[in-house]
Structure formats: C-alpha cells, structure tokens
Amino acid sequence: MPKKNRMSPGQLFKVYRQVEGITQKCLAGHGNIQTLTFNNNSIMSKGMTFALGIEVLKYHKIIDKIIAESGLFKKKPSLKKDQGMLRIIMFEALFGEKSGDSTSIEELWKRYDKINFDLFKLGRTEYATWKSLLDKEKKKLGYTTNEGFVDPKYAKSKTHQHDNPEIELIRYVRVNTLKTTKEEVINKFSELGYEYRPVGLDKTDDFDKNEKSIVEDNHLTNDVLALYPSNVTLHDLEMIKSYEIIAQDKSSCFPPFLIHKELGGKLGKNDCLIDACSAPGNKTCYLAALFPSNQIYAYERNKNRYETLKNRMVLAGASNVECKLDDFLQTNPSDPKFKNVKAIMLDPSCSGSGIGHGNSIKKERLLSLQQFQLKLLTHCFNFPNVQFISYSTCSVCEEENECVTEMGLKASNGAFEVVHTFPEWEHRGLESSPVGDKCVRVDPKRDKTNGFFVVCFRRVNKQ
Ligand SMILES: C[S@@+](CC[C@H](N)C(=O)[O-])C[C@H]1O[C@@H](n2cnc3c(N)ncnc32)[C@H](O)[C@@H]1O
C-alpha cells in the first residue's frame, strides 16, 4: 500500500484504529468488511482501510496462532484487549510490504517510533520471536510461500460482496439519473477502456468476462449496468465519488423499479411516496430518481444511519427526499399530511440471510423478525390512499418472506391483493406457498446478485 508512506503518523494510526474496529467486528460475525467500510461515512481513507483490513483478515488465523505461541498474553495479560491492533502490527511485520528484509523492517519500526503508543514498540522487541514462529510453522507445513496461510473465506473478498466466498456476484452500478445520463456514463467508461455491450447479459455469454466491459442489464435496461471483470474496485472512480453512478446490487433496485413500473406516469404532482425503512438509502435514492417530481418521505429510526441517509441524499442530488429521524410505526396514517401518499416502499431490517449473514439464525429470532416485519406491513395498509406497497427483504428465509406476505394479506382483510409482479423475472417465490408464484425471489448462486425477496400489494378498489 504505497500511499500509506505519505501519511502522517497520526493519519496512519487513525487508519489502523479503523482496521482494528472493522476486523474485530468481521471476526465476531457482525457484518462483512465491504459494508462495514464503505457504508460508514465516518471511515476515512476507505480504500486503504479496506485493503489493509482484508489482508489482516486473510492472515488472521496464523497471526492468532503466533500471538498464542509467543506467550505474549501470559507475560502481559493486559495486552489481550489490544489483540485487534496487535494483529495489524504483526501482519505488517510478517506479511506486509515492509516485511521480508531487515532494511524495510527497520523503516517500519522507524515509522512506528513516531506513533506515540507503546504497543507499536513491541514490534521491534518481539519481531525475532514472531518471525521464528512463522518460519517454524512454514517448515512444519512444507510451505515455501505465505499463501498457504490465507483463510479461504477472505481469499477472494475483493471480487464479490457476498459473505459466502463460493458465491461470485456480478458487479453492478446504477446510473444516478438525478446527476447524469446513461449515455454520459457509458462514454466515461469507454474513456476508461471499457467496451460497451448494449445487449442483455443472458445474450453475452460469449464475451471474455476478464476483459473490461460494461454491459446493459436485460431487466433494468434504463438504469443498471454490469461491470466486468467483477473484481473491479469502484471506490476510486470519479463517477462514484460524484454520485453519477452508485454501486448497487441489481436485486436491491427491484422495489423502486417495480413501484415505478406500476405507478410511473400515473402520479399527480401533489402525490407522494414513503420509504418506511430507508438507511443507508440506496433504494430511496433510486426511488427519488424514478419519481423526481414527487415528494418522498424517508423514515429512519437509527440516528447514525439517519445521518448517513441524509448525507447521501444531498450528495446524490435527491432533493425531493425529506429524511425523517423517526420510527415509521409511530406515524399516524390519518394525519392530513399523508393524504396524498400513494405508494410505500417497505424494506425492513431482516436476517440478511440473502447476503450470507445469519446462516445459523435461530427459529426464535426469525419469528421475532417476522412479527416486527408484519407489524410494519400492516401499518402501511392503514394509509388511507396508498395504492401500492412493495415489501422486500435481503433474506432467503420463508418466515420473513412468503409467510409475512400471507399473514399480511390476511390481515388486510380484502383491502389489498398480492400483485403478480415482475412476470418477466423467472425465479418466483416458494411453490409451497399459495402466493409463491406472485413473489420474486433472487438466489445469489443462480442469479449472481445478492439473495432477495420482493412482493407487491395493490389496493383492491371496490366499485
Ligand atoms: C434493511 S435496512 C434498509 C436498507 C435501505 N432500504 C437501502 O436500500 O439502503 C432497514 C433499515 O430500517 C431501519 N428501521 C427498522 N425499523 C424501523 C422503523 N420502525 N422505523 C424506521 N426505520 C426503521 C433500520 O434502522 C435500518 O436502517
């Protein structure tokens, strides 16, 4: 990571602290490195933080083994609380760009000397022990390089966003039409050496996916483009920084797309929409772009996530979105200000099993999520003039998807019906459910975009 040399000791320490926090969370199973880094506005030098974090995660097993065998914690038990930072220091010394020869490693210690934090001095005193433990392990396992120590879970982490390393996702970007046009984006990609392929993905199996290509999506043709090769890093692109394009998974675009399919061109200028559970705001922003002349109320109850949402809407130019730091369940649907609400997008918190989280989620937890999701859905039904509601999760669990749909439908007492939405999408809900065929399911292995579920409800207008 060459840029790191140009950092002041204070900046370097800040990046290390960020990597410490993020890697600790990843290893404790509280999120993936991509989301923890790029969806958090308070993280500075995201690219560097991500790059260092992923390297530390790759080698965490052997690092932890060396820490244990070095007897450091026995000598100084107070160091246990610093294990996260110790991992980074050990990674840099044994596997980083300064590892290897004595001159480089001396540069590393000199850099560390400038950081006024005792832990960094340990590197100089303990390095010989660490190195000999690593060499011993290599000899024992017959490794000639360090590659054998890489944890396969993180080996390919730069190439996909799914937590399951066996799942390779296609990389999508959404054109933010609030700021630019698809043609403009295609031109800019062409200048960056990408070949534009105007046909849908299923017709382009013949092209080399390792070549730089930008491919039109065959469903969301106006707004979504697939990028190849899929391991491309996007965060340094000017178009990303300016919010002309937004890195967004295809499936995450479905709810706004489906609401627009139903109501596009049919709303009056005073009609408005609600995003009930908004942050970080990818779907909100797309909805804003599809309905640029309508007001959107975006609810988010978590303060930090609300701040992220608000910032993003400003950066993305979504001036028709009014962000509300509020619990959607506390809104009063009879309030006159909601009289013109015609559509609600509901994308509540869920188990995240579609993006690889919660593989071992307990039934009890699923049922509790189900109750919470159902409460939100039935609250949507109470808005007097709402015509259309999308309900979505990034879960693949029936309890949070078809079951909530069936229960919601029943609770609406005939006021709403489930729409056979997105018929051109082949993959439907579970056959075991009476509403399954009307629902859309996305399987990350099959569809190469994150696991997702979406269903739409339409008001039954009785004559
Ligand atoms: C799955 S995330 C939404 C992701 C978002 N739709 C997007 O595409 O970027 C769910 C969000 O809803 C928020 N949330 C959960 N319950 C809520 C409630 N009752 N009112 C408002 N926000 C809520 C959570 O804090 C979380 O930020």
Beta-bridge partner residues of 441: 453
Q: Is 451 in the pocket of ligand 1 (CB under 6 A)?
A: no
pLDDT at 203: 60
pLDDT at 6: 55
In this structure, which topology does domain 166-247 adopt according to CATH? Alpha-Beta Plaits (3.30.70)
Q: What is the mean pLDDT of the chain?
A: 89
Give the distance (Å) from ligand 1 centre to CA of residue 347: 7
Closest CA to 279 of 307, 243, 316: 307
Share of the chain above pLDDT 70, in %: 92
User: Is it the case that residue 150 has pLDDT exceeding 90?
Assistant: no
User: Is it the case that residue 202 has pLDDT exceeding 80?
Assistant: no
Give the mean model confidence (pLDDT) for residues 144-170: 66
Give the mean model confidence (pLDDT) for residues 221-242: 85
Mutate to test the pocket of ligand 1, among 345, 349, 368, 404 (most ligand atoms within 8 A of CB): 349
User: Is it the case that residue 358 has pLDDT exceeding 90?
Assistant: no
Give the mean model confidence (pLDDT) for residues 302-330: 93
Beta-bridge partner residues of 459: 416
pLDDT at 3: 40
pLDDT at 144: 74
Count the Cβ atoms, other than its own, within 10 Å of residue 169. 20
Tell me, what DSSP letter sits at residue 337? G
Rounded alpha-carbon distances, angstroms, from residue 260 to 34, 94, 225, 399:
29, 53, 18, 27
Give the distance (Å) from ligand 1 centre to CA of residue 283: 11
User: Is it the case that residue 141 has pLDDT exceeding 70?
Assistant: yes
Phi (first) and psi of residue 427, to 5 degrees: -90, 110
Domain ranges of the chain: 2-152, 166-247, 252-459
pLDDT at 391: 98
pLDDT at 123: 86
pLDDT at 363: 87
Domain 252-459 has CATH 3.40.50.150: yes
Give pLDDT tens digits for 10-29.
888 899 999 999 999 999 98
User: Is it the case that residue 38 has pLDDT exceeding 90?
Assistant: no
Q: Any idea of the CA torsion for 417, 287, 441, 397, to the nearest 10 degrees?
A: -90
- Which residues are known to be catalytic? 394
Q: Which residues contact 319 (CB under 8 A, 6 or more apart)?
A: 313
Structure tokens at 356: 């690889």
Mutate to test the pocket of ligand 1, among 258, 283, 300 (most ligand atoms within 8 A of CB): 300
User: Is it the case that residue 37 has pLDDT exceeding 90?
Assistant: no
> Cis peptide before 333, with omega less than 30 degrees from 0?
no
Give the distance (Å) from ligand 1 centre to CA of residue 274: 12
pLDDT at 175: 98
pLDDT at 1: 42
Share of the chain above pLDDT 90, in %: 60
Give the mean model confidence (pLDDT) for residues 63-68: 95
